[in-house]
């Protein structure tokens, strides 16, 4: 079972009145979803329940820290004074969203990329919801590590304009180079996936040195249902997926 960004159940019921739409979507989620989530003889990549549990960034950061991975100083808050104090202690700081932007009234999707923020802009609007602030890491580049079962694929990424968040620009202009993953980091990534019952994950790291030692690798996040088709080694990653999906025993997420 390859669980890959399925269309929300509600998408096909947009023509119905609100109550009927919500009812039909809930019935589909509990009926069809209940079946698909409990195929006991299937190997899941990844199981929907595991994806949901692993999608919370505070849980990601806690698990990474427990496994000994380096992390940026991080604050989750809606308190203005806490945010200002954090910025004073750890600045410069960046702001990241926990999730992508919902579609707007016209159905158009958007994004808010990781960005530097100035503490003198913090005001009472922070009280509306939770915010994620992190100390900016003085990085020389980024690394995307794609783990599929026991196979690990790593690419160092450089944006031509040196962007803080390489996702915000032209992906075709990104420069990629294979990079070796230190054994201690690779072991931690496998332990991370096992902790969440995952077979596959896309890990993002900020690289602060040549990458030869674990201390050079600063954990940013892990997408348990991330994209990988744009990477130079996509063909090899595809083969790794095919190998897992043709078996039922490899990886911690097989159920």
Three-class DSSP category at 134: strand
Q: Is residue 1 part of a domain?
A: no
Partnered with residue 116 across adjacent β-strands are 94
Q: Is residue 253 part of a domain?
A: no
Summarize pLDDT for 203-215 with one digit per residue, the tens: 999 999 888 889 9
CA angle at 23 for the pair 19 and 40, rounded to the nearest 5°: 160
Is residue 220 located within the same domain as residue 208?
yes
Is residue 181 located within the same domain as residue 122?
no
Is residue 192 located within the same domain as residue 241?
yes
Is residue 179 located within the same domain as residue 214?
yes
The average pLDDT across 132-156 equals 95
Q: Is residue 250 part of a domain?
A: no
Is residue 99 located within the same domain as residue 123?
yes
Sign of the Cα pseudo-torsion (195, 196, 197, 202, in order): negative
Is residue 184 located within the same domain as residue 215?
yes
Is residue 189 located within the same domain as residue 130?
no
Summarize pLDDT for 43-93 with one digit per residue, the tens: 899 999 999 999 999 999 999 999 999 999 999 999 999 999 999 999 899
- Please give the C-alpha separations between residue 175 and each of 91, 153, 200, in angstroms, as whole numbers: 29, 16, 24
Which of 93-107, 152-166, 223-237 has the weakest average pLDDT? 93-107
In contact, 194 and 252? CB cutoff 8 Å:
yes
Mean pLDDT of the chain: 89
More confident call, 219 vs 6: 219
Q: Is residue 232 part of a domain?
A: yes
Range of the domain at 15: 8-38
**Residues above pLDDT 70, as percent of the chain:** 94
Provide the 10 A C-beta neighbour count for residue 192. Answer: 22
In 3D space, the residue among 118, 114, 117, 132 whose CA is nearest the CA of residue 77 turns out to be 132
Using 50, 70 and 90 to split pLDDT, how confident is the model at 250?
A: very low
In contact, 117 and 136? CB cutoff 8 Å:
no
Is residue 16 located within the same domain as residue 56?
no
Is residue 221 located within the same domain as residue 193?
yes
Cα gap 124→121, rounded to integer Å? 10
pLDDT for residue 254: 43
Q: Which of 88, 107, 135 is the last residue of a domain?
A: 135
Is residue 179 located within the same domain as residue 219?
yes
Query: What are the tokens at 182?
Result: 């230190």
pLDDT at 236 over 70: yes
CATH number at residue 147: 3.30.470.20
pLDDT at 231 over 50: yes
Q: Give exposure, 234-252, as e/b (b: 16+ Cβ within 10 Å).
A: eeebeebbeebbeeeebbb
User: How many structural domains does the chain have?
Assistant: 3
pTM of the model: 0.88
Q: Is residue 83 part of a domain?
A: yes
Using 50, 70 and 90 to split pLDDT, how confident is the model at 178?
A: very high
Is residue 94 located within the same domain as residue 167?
no
Is residue 57 located within the same domain as residue 175?
yes
In 3D space, the residue among 173, 80, 60 whose CA is nearest the CA of residue 120 turns out to be 80
Q: Is residue 3 part of a domain?
A: no
**Residues above pLDDT 90, as percent of the chain:** 65
Q: Is residue 254 part of a domain?
A: no
């Amino acid at each position: 079972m390859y669980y890959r960004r399925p269309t929300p159940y509600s998408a096909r019921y947009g023509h119905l009145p609100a109550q009927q739409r919500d009812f039909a979507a809930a019935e589909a989620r509990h009926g069809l979803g209940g079946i698909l989530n409990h195929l006991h003889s299937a190997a899941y990549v990844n199981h929907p329940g595991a994806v949901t549990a692993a999608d919370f960034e505070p849980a990601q950061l806690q698990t990474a820290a427990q496994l000994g991975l380096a992390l940026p100083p991080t604050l989750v808050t809606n308190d203005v004074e806490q945010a200002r104090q954090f910025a004073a202690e750890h600045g410069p700081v960046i702001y990241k969203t926990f999730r992508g932007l919902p579609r707007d009234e016209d159905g158009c999707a958007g994004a808010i990329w990781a960005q530097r923020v100035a503490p003198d802009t913090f005001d009472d609007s922070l009280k509306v919801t939770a915010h994620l602030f992190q100390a900016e890491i003085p990085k020389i580049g980024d690394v995307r590590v794609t783990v599929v079962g026991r196979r690990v694929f790593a690419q160092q990424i450089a944006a031509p304009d040196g962007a803080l968040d390489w996702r915000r620009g032209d992906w075709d202009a990104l420069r990629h180079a294979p990079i070796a993953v230190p054994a201690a980091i690779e072991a931690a990534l496998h332990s991370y996936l096992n902790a969440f019952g995952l077979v596959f994950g896309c890990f993002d790291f900020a690289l602060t040195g040549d990458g030869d030692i674990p201390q050079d690798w600063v954990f940013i996040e892990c997408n348990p249902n991330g994209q990988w088709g744009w990477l130079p080694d996509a063909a090899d990653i595809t083969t790794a997926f095919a190998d897992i999906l043709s078996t039922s025993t490899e990886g911690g997420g097989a159920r």
